[in-house]
Structure 1
Amino acid sequence: MGVPRLYENTDLRLSYVLWQEGVSPFVIVELLSPGIENEDLGQTEHEADQPPTKWQVYKQILRVPYYVVFDRYTDQLRTFGLTQGRYRELTLSNRKLWIPELNSGLGLWQGTYQGITRNWLRWYDDQGKLDSY
């Protein structure tokens, strides 16, 4: 929220870098990574002599309100909302998460894209119509 779609009004964004944007992200979407699932799901314990875990950064430093994890191998979608400084798993309705602050939702769509048929993570509007961006 509060960040233009194009970087410096010319380039498509390939990443989100806080020190360039100046605004913390409102939603983080994580594609579950084989081998580090525990870190992606906040199940990694912080070691005193190590940097903060991914979840610690998202919830304590950046305070990102929504954290979404999609496992493209099992098609499992899990969503978490930041409440009182902790991420709590949110209940999905029809494999979709509605985000009222964005007036948009995020959910799974079964379809074909670029010749591949599977479940895809897609944004949708308040009418349930897939967003085209």
Structure 2
Amino acid sequence: MPDYSIFGDIQNYENHHRMGRAREVALWLTMENDSIVIPNIAAGSIRDLDYIFDGYEKVKVAGISTKSKLPKREDRELLQATIDEALIRMPALETFVVYDISADNRDADILFSGARENGIKVVIPDNSMKIRNRILKVRRETALVVV
């Protein structure tokens, strides 16, 4: 699948173009290949919240990534604003599928607590980076044990 990532440090028209291309590919996958496509919700800046939900009013399952959004306060705040706006702009939403690579789900659980309170199911499946980070965390903690 081509990468049509949205960025906060590029011109807004470029993000519009990327989003449009991603949706074209999703339509092609759905109509020509009978694929199930889960739309990915992403914002590069607060201005993107004006349009990234357009056409998603009937979407029941959406993907969202916390990758590289947790360390910086402003990125975490944008992610929280995106989640909160999704709850308003996507009234049919039932499930978030979250791509998270942290060793535990502590930060994601906090970010998605409002979604859960609104009855949205939040699924955070394991992935290779998450498993790797969990192993590294255990190794770090084990190495710190004093005998």
More strand by share: 1
Please classify the TM superposition score into its range, dividing by the shorter chain length: 0.3 to 0.5
The structure carrying a bigger helix percent of its residues is 2
Larger Rg: 2
TM-score where L is the length of structure 2: 0.34
